[in-house]
Amino acid sequence: MFVGKPSHILFEPPPSPPHIVVGITDAQTCLVLSGRLRALREAGFRVTLVSNPGDLLELTSKSEGVESISCPMKRGIAPFADFISLIRLGYLLWRLHPDLTEFSTPKAGLLGNLVSKIARVPMRVYMLRGLKLETCTGIKRRILWAAERLSCACAHVVLCNSASLKNEARSMGIAPADKLCMLGSGSSNGVDVERFSPGPGSKELRSHHRLPEDALVLGFVGRLTRDKGIPELIEAFDVILAAQPKTYLLLVGWFDASEDALDDAMRIRILTHPHIRLTGYVADPAPYYRIMDLMVLPSWREGFPNVLLEAGATGIPVIATLCTGSRDAMVPEVTGLLIPPGYPEAICEAVLCLLRNPERRQSMGRAARAWVLEHYVDRDVLRMTTEFYKNLLKQLRPSQQMTELEERSESA
């Protein structure tokens, strides 16, 4: 007579893969998730991306090979709409029952981490990508500070993407030091150094944007907003142009409808300026770096601006401000120049210094690529990320299940 295990053990289905819900407020933030979601999926996780509805949500879901769910959320302060979003997120997490949540950006960070704690999600990560309150004052700053503190309180781990951001969060009292952490040298994605690499600029691209062959191209990549320092950059550019008449300003970005949006007068000034070229949103900025001689990012605040790493990987020197995040994404006097935020005169002086010295620009460009190759290659940064999440989940899952996760990761 055959005696075996009970049938309910013999036919027990294999354990499901660990489930991570990644939440952001606006679909445009999907731009900074490229590669990260795929890496988590290939490491054996089930990944669900949640954000406001938008074309980028669907495109990112398909390109990264992950699930996506839209959940309307207001970017600004909107108590009634926020309550509705909270209910929606609560139902979503109840239905998905994730092992881990990673929410980032101010509104999704607040609502997502709060509802994750209420839903008792086993492991909750707040991905801190920047502090909007840095450029706010008065009651709004106090409200944002309280929101950030609550987001951090609801999370088990606050993952910062730069050293200066981590220090700022600690000094502001937003989270205790033992809850704040950073992986490697910072950055949440790193850089694809093959895609962003030195090479001849496209003549067709220059022609399309009406850039003369002998033009000196000063570049900017990102959202066109006040906090990105666009007003100061435009003011400085007119002085730069007077000193270097062959200079053109290439703005690779779009007018963002955010709380720090540019006013109509500034938009008109940009659109009608004879030496400013505006691309609008571009899916692949890599070819645009190759037609730049120099890149400037005059931000007032950042988390960790990957655009500086992308420029560096392309061999382009950068000018950045001393603001949080930006000062971590370059090496002063080696890969570029650091200036104080908010001063058009400083932008002008730094830009002219490098435009007039092509040998120094080339030297800084070579040093920038070498530095990025040493610290920010995407596969290395993403490997640290997946290992970090595996270690977090080892606290929650039986060792056998984690072994199966690692086997799936190796086979992928």
> pLDDT, tens digit, for every residue of 114-133?
999 999 999 999 999 999 99
> Which residues, at least 6 apart from 341, have a Cβ–Cβ distance to it below 8 Å?
229, 232, 298, 299, 300, 321, 322, 323
Closest CA to 221 of 196, 193, 198: 196
Residue 229 has pLDDT above 60, yes or no: yes
Per-residue confidence at 28, pLDDT binned at 50, 70, 90?
confident
141's torsion region: left (phi>0), alpha (psi -120 to 50) or beta? alpha
Closest CA to 306 of 235, 358, 382: 382
Distances (CA, A) of 259 to 127, 255, 262, 298, 390: 21, 12, 9, 18, 37
Q: What is the pLDDT of residues 345-403, one digit of tens each?
A: 999 999 999 999 999 999 999 999 999 999 999 999 999 999 999 999 988 765 444 55
Give the chain's mean pLDDT.
91
| pTM of the predicted structure, to 2 decimals | 0.88
Mean pLDDT along residues 178-184: 95
- The per-residue pLDDT for 34 is 87
Q: How far apart are CA 354 and CA 360, in angstroms?
A: 7
Mean pLDDT along residues 54-70: 93
- Decide: helix, strand or coil at residue 226: coil
- Decide: helix, strand or coil at residue 390: helix
For residue 398 the two structure tokens come to: 């039986």
Contact by Cβ (8 Å): 244, 216: yes
- The per-residue pLDDT for 398 is 54
Closest CA to 355 of 225, 242, 210: 242
- The per-residue pLDDT for 2 is 42
Q: How far apart are CA 356 and CA 312, in angstroms?
A: 19
Q: What is the pLDDT of residues 42-61, one digit of tens each?
A: 999 999 999 999 899 999 99
Walk me through the domains of the chain, giving residue ranges and CATH numbers: 16-189+377-411 (3.40.50.2000), 203-375 (3.40.50.2000)
Q: How far apart are CA 167 and CA 208, in angstroms?
A: 44
Residue 149 has pLDDT above 70, yes or no: yes
List the strands of the sheet with 46-51, edge to edge.
Answer: 67-70, 46-51, 19-23, 100-104, 123-128, 157-160, 180-181
Q: What is the pLDDT of residues 280-322, one digit of tens each?
A: 999 899 999 999 999 999 999 999 999 999 999 999 999 999 9
Give one DSSP letter per residue of 286-304, joined into a string. Answer: HHHHTT-SEEEE--S--S-
